[in-house]
A and B are shown apart, each in its own frame.
Chain A
Amino acid sequence: MTTTTLPGKRFSQFFRSLNIPPVYYFLIVIFLGSGILDVIYSDGQIFSNQAIRLNILVRSVALGIVAVGQTLVIISGSIDLSVAYMISITSVMSSYIMQGQTENIFLAIVVVFAIGALVGLVNGLIITKLHVNPFIATLGVGLILKGIINATFSNYTGSVPRSFEFFGYERLGPIPVSVIILFLVVLGGWFLLSRTKFGSHLYGVGGNVEVARLCGLRTDRVVIGAHILCSMTAVLTGLFIVSRLRAGAPWVGPDGVYDLESIATVVIGGTLLSGGKGGVWGTLAGVIIFSILSTAFNQLGVNPYLTLVLRGAIVILAVASYTYRSKNMVA
């Protein structure tokens, strides 16, 4: 069925088919808004500074990587509150094993990913086999991890060899390695969700677990798989942080509020908290929004506590911009 369409109409058809998450409009608004503030308050010095622009992207990496994992879990209808402590454990364990020696890097990486997979497996099993609410299950596991970390480490531990710092500091041309890795992770997440059977099953289980089961999906395995992947992204974030800090510390995870902020960016990005709908590109936009705000406030000299206030307000307002028009009855 071919009809001749005007170029304008074809463009709008193409544009609509891209399915741009609404959050990108919000991102543009924030971007422009910060730009304006920048011009007014500091003569445009902030965003014209390349180092600062780069800083925004780098700030996005830590949160962004783990937020991709959180996206997968939330789409499957679950949630992961243990990521903050997973990040902490990764940072101390990897730093401890490396002890500043390049030879130990490989072992350290293997060990922390193994721990991550194990934690994800445990999360998934508790949720699917013991039928514990994911909120409670991952909260509990997070607490267990917290206890284990604090029992064994109380301060900066070990150190990271120079050679590993490439993750945190090196660049490939003008672009930092870390940003490339972030992009690869997001791309990987997108690919998984839209092109693989597993991704399709994630949406199925999150959309309606009964329907998924009736279609013969091994719903338990899907949820467990999502949790394993999420924990592994937390591990990757931990490795990134430790390569920047050059040593691991137990407070790294909770300090960065990675659990709540990863959830917030996922929801701002348009993924439904109840599952079954959403994607990683929206999450990425959410992460960048947070980064811009953090950087802008930092540079403008805004009191860090007020930044917290603004973060909270942004989370609410961003989601409200989607939901205020909906007719649903919400809890």
Chain B
Amino acid sequence: MTTTTISTESGFSKILRNVWTALTKVPPVYPIFIVLFILVTFLSPTYSSMNGIMAFLRRTAPLAILAVGQMMVLSSGGFDLSQGSVVTMVCLGSSLLLNNDPANAYPAIGIMMAIGIGVGLVNGLVTSYLKVPSFIVTLGMMLLVKGLALYWVGGAPKGYFTDNWRMWGRGYIENVPIFDRFPIGLILLIVVGGIAWYIFHRANFGKQVLAIGDNVKAAKFSGVKVNFVRVSAFVISSFLAVIGGIMTGGYGGVNVTIGEGMELQAIAGCVVGGVLLGGGKGSVPNVIFGAYTLEILFTVLNLLGLPKPYRDVIQGLIIIATVAYVALSTRRKR
């Protein structure tokens, strides 16, 4: 039943109130990001330079891409704990496949993409048809894929990455107006983000993902192809983990533990970006900013001179604090 209230406010205060209402609807991740960004520019002149900003954006892009993939799965009500191991597989496996020959770069990338899609298919199909909770499936796959990767390369990376393979994570496009050097990784992120935004926010796919996460039974009864959508979400998540893996390897080189824990960071980035663990809520730009917010935070800590172990402590505190903040503000809204 609608109730109408007769407003006796002046025009100006009405405008103020509308602005306030609009502001409170802004997801918390954005103000946090802005505040931290301003903070970081004060702490270090590098970050107020275009080069510095671009470098920062470049090194965090892989995590942001992983977060986008993870979000697809989280929104559908599941978990993808295998993303980190996919990154490990991509880096270790590519070090072998490349065989120090640039000609192998694209075939290697192709093979890795196929592997990624395969992992996603297993995750999705086992969850959908064997009814195993995705937490367990992807946990098992995390062990399985890591084991396979290590077995494949015999415990240590073989060879280095060729330049044309590395460029996705490491390269720049030079002489760009305004930005000067524009990271290729950032271009990848923008392209991936754009496509992801379209399929999640505009296309029918995203709404159906949310439908599965919010009320899977209603989704089934309304004609949503639940299994197809769910499997697709997992495939996207693993595929994006492959891309993130190529970028990560390209950026920093490879060691045995590369990629470990990335899925947890991706989940953390998603949570900061307002995704509900359990499904039903998600947004591509929010989680990208969530991942960046997390990284900015660590950068701030680094700049404050905290040695690495303390970084872990702060990381833990921040993750808890952010989620608590989101949880408490959601409760207030209810």
Contact = CB atoms under 8 A, between A and B. Distances in A.
Interface in B195-233: 212-213, 216-217, 220, 226
B139 A315 contact: yes
A14 interface: no
B213 A331 contact: yes
A227 interface: no
A277 B129 CA distance: 23
Contact of B323 (A133, A312, A326, A331): A133
A267 interface: yes
A331 B80 CA distance: 11
Given A151-B310, A308-B147, A331-B76, A131 B331 contact: yes
Contact of A316 (B140, B268, B308): B140
Contacts of B135: 273
A329 B220 contact: yes
B200 to A, nearest CB: 18
A151 B307 CA distance: 8
A18 B129 CA distance: 31
Contacts, number: 169
Q: Which interface class (under 10, 10 to 19, 20 to 34, 35 or more) fits A?
A: 35 or more
A19 to B, nearest CB: 22
Contacts of A330: 127-128, 131-134
Interface stretch (B96-104, B167-175, B240-248, B314-322): B314-322
Interface stretch (B11-19, B29-37, B148-156): B148-156
A158 interface: no
Contact of B139 (A132, A264, A324): A264
B147 A306 contact: yes
B319 A331 contact: no
Contact of A142 (B132, B147, B151, B316): B316
A145 B316 CA distance: 9
A257 B130 CA distance: 26
Interface string B115-159: 000000000001111111111110111111111101100010000
A255 to B, nearest CB: 12
Contacts of A324: 129-132
Interface in A275-331: 303, 305-316, 319-320, 323-324, 326, 328-331
Given A150-B308, A323-B130, A331-B134, 15 more contacts: A137-B323, A143-B312, A144-B312, A144-B313, A146-B312, A264-B140, A309-B144, A312-B142, A316-B141, A320-B132, A324-B130, A329-B220, A330-B127, A330-B131, A331-B213
